[in-house]
Amino acid sequence: MSAQSTALDDDARLMRYARHILLDELGVEGQERLLAARVLIVGAGGLGSPAALYLAAAGVGQLLLVDDDVVELSNLQRQILHTTVGLGRAKAESGRQALLALNPDIQVQALVERLDDVRLRELAAGVDLVLDCCDNFATRHAINRACVATGTPLVSGAAIKFSGQVSVYDLRRDDSPCYCCLFPEADDVEELRCATTGVLGPLLGMVGSVQAAEAIKLIVGMGEPLVGRLLSVDALRMQWHTIRFRRDPACPVCARRGPAAAACSGD
């Protein structure tokens, strides 16, 4: 069966996606939208692993998985796309194999490369949605610039130690802030890395799963996405908190899109 076809026209597909089809908010039409969707996932590590697995299981028709790193033993505590037998393999290739083993009904393209601004913009222009599952500010800002330039919705996640966060930047909406509105780019930002500070393995699963849920909502067009809201979790105390924020009228990345008002509040 071709993953290009979006018709739910055989028993195997109907059975595979039955629990989604039963949801009134999703149904057959929503499932067909998932089958027709094309999603770019930047990062096949701790966040990209659960996000990609859930999107593959959900039947997102085409996944582009980007990562230039290889699987190391220290990754396996949290990067559940990969296994011990894959040590030394490119993460994108290892991830592709795992996703197709889970759902051969989809297409997965493995891109073993480090993306610059030009390449990011090229890829963002050719997909319906981008998931930022990377581990550094520079790449997050580069992904954000590409999504603003192409008007592509972005689901961004991050996690370190016991803390994680997720937000959605839907650049198709005039009122949507971008990543830079909330986290302005700066040279003096102190960046924490898992390799030196550690991270709770299941926390990545929590954040990556929320990213997958938000991606499915955006593709199907259901519910209320996390636009203008930063959802954060403290896994040590198991507390969730939402901060509302608006576009920064002086944002160097997205201000040219039109009127905006800056504000931030917790609830």
Contact assessment for residue 40 and residue 74, using Cβ atoms and an 8 Å cutoff: no
For residues 120-131, average pLDDT: 98
For residue 210, report the phi and psi dihedrals to the nearest 5 degrees.
-65, -40
What tokens appear for 207 in the block?
């954040």
The upper half-sphere exposure of residue 129, i.e. CA atoms within 13 Å in the direction of its Cβ, equals 31
Look at residue 200 and give its three-state secondary structure.
coil
User: Does residue 194 carry a catalytic annotation?
Assistant: yes
pLDDT tens digits, one per residue of 82-105: 999 999 999 999 999 999 999 999
Q: Which one of the listed residues 134, 178, 181, 194 is annotated catalytic? A: 194
* pLDDT score recorded for residue 259: 45
Q: How far apart are CA 204 and CA 49, in angstroms?
A: 9
Find the mean pLDDT for residues 200-207: 97
Say if residue 4's pLDDT is above 60: no
What tens digit of pLDDT does each residue of 36-69 get?
A: 999 999 999 999 999 999 999 999 999 999 999 9
pLDDT (tens digit per residue) in 7-18: 677 889 999 999
- Chain segment 149-190, per-residue pLDDT in tens: 999 999 999 999 999 999 999 989 989 999 999 999 875 555
Query: Chain-centre distance of CA 238, in angstroms?
Result: 22
Give the pLDDT confidence of 226-263 residue by residue, as tens digits: 999 999 999 999 999 999 999 999 999 998 765 444 34
Q: What pLDDT is stored for residue 193 in this prediction?
A: 62
Nearest-angstrom CA–CA distance, 134 and 87: 20
Q: What is the mean pLDDT of residues 213-224?
A: 98
Structure confidence at residue 159 (pLDDT): 96
**Dihedral angle over CA of 142, 70, 164, 144, nearest 10:** 10
Higher-confidence position of 246 and 195: 246
Nearest residue to 86 via CA among 69, 103, 102: 69
